[in-house]
Amino acid sequence: MPHKHKSKSWAALKQAGNECFKTGQYGDAAGLYSQAIKELERSGKKNTEDLSILYSNRAASYLKDGNCVECVKDCDTSLDLSPFNMKSLLRRAAAYEALERYRHAYIDYKTVLQIDCNVASAHDGTNRMTKALTEADGPSWREKLPPIPTVPLSVREKFAQKAAGDATQPKATQPKATQPKAMPQQNGIKQTGKPAPSDKDIKKAQALKEEGNSLVKKGEHKKAIEKYSQSLKHNPSEVTTYTNRALCYLSVKQYKDAVRDCTEALRMDGSNVKALYRRAQAHRELKDARACVDDLNSLLTVEPKNSAALKLLQEVQKKN
C-alpha cells in the first residue's frame, strides 16, 4: 500500500485544511482534517488536545457545509478528548440549533457563558433558544431541560489565564465568525483576562448580598446599594446582585444607574425577566418610551403572560 502522505505530518495536513477552510473549500478542508486525524492516531502519540482541535476543525467544516449531524458527532468526540472546549461547544450549539434540537443548543450556549460570560454569540444563541423553547413548550419550558453541566472553577481559571496570555491572538476565545465587530470591549479578550472569583470571594459576596437583601426589606435602599456594590467587588458575575441593586436605584430615583445595572445583568443573561422589567421601568421614568416598549416586548417573548409587563406596556402605549 503506497504511503502517499507519509511525508506530510499531521500538522502539515492540518495547516493545509486551515488554508482550504479560509478560502471556503469546506469539503476539501474536512478531507484534509480526516487525513490529519489518521496520521496523528497512527503516530501513536496520545496527544488529546491536538486531536480534539482536529475534530473540532472538521466539525466546523461540516457545519459550514450544512452537515450538522456529522458536526455534532465530531464535537462530541472533541469534547470527550478535551472537555469544555469552547469552540466545540459553540459549533455543536449551532448544529443543534439548525437541527431544531433547541434544548441541547440552549445547554451548550449556557455552558459557554459559564466559561466566559463575554461571548456575544452565546448570549444571542441563548436568547434565540429561549424564544424557541417558550413557543414550543410554554412558560414552563425550563422544567423540561436536561441538566446544565457545571463548569469547574479550575476550567474557568485556566481559561482566564489562557485568555490573558493569548491577548495577541483574539481567535482564542471563540470562532471567528462569532465575533461581532461592534462590541470588542465586551466579548474580546480584554475582559476575560480577569481571574474567576475564588470560593472565598464568592462566599464573601454572598454574605454582603444577603445583608443588602435584609436592608431592602427594611426599606433602607441607599444602605443596600452600598452592600450590593461591595458584594460586586468580590464577585462581579452575580446577575441577581445587579438586578437587586437596580431595584434600589429605582427606589432612590437614580434611573440611569438602574439602566446601567440592568444592562450589565442582561449582558450575562439576555432573558433575565427582572432586568428587562426594571430597565423598562427606568426607561419610562427617563421618558424614553421606545426603549421601555422594546424591553417589555423582549420580556413578553420570554414570559408572554407576565401581568406586570402587560400592564406597564398598556400604560406606556396609552400615553403615546
> What is the per-residue pLDDT across 112-132, written as a single tens digit (0 to 9) for each?
998 888 888 899 999 999 999
Q: What is the pLDDT of residues 139-178, one digit of tens each?
A: 888 888 888 888 888 888 888 887 776 554 444 333 333 3
Distance of CA 269 to the CA centre of its chain: 8
Please give the pLDDT value at position 302. 82
Decide if pLDDT at 186 tops 80: no
Cβ neighbours around 73 below 10 Å, total: 17
CA distances from residue 205 to 193, 210, 232 in whole angstroms, order as listed: 20, 9, 7
Domains, the chain, with CATH or none: 10-160 (1.25.40.10), 199-319 (1.25.40.10)
The 10 Å Cβ neighbour count of residue 186 is 15
Task: Specify whether the CB–CB gap between 228 and 208 falls below 8 A.
Answer: yes
Which of the two residues, 29 and 270, has the higher pLDDT score?
A: 29
More confident residue, 292 or 5: 292
CB-CB contact of 246 with 265 (8 Å): yes
pTM above the 0.85 mark? Answer: no
| Higher pLDDT pick, 184 / 171 | 171
Say if residues 175 and 187 touch (Cβ distance below 8 Å): no
Give the three cell numbers for residue 223: 444602605
Contact 153, 196 (CB under 8 A): yes
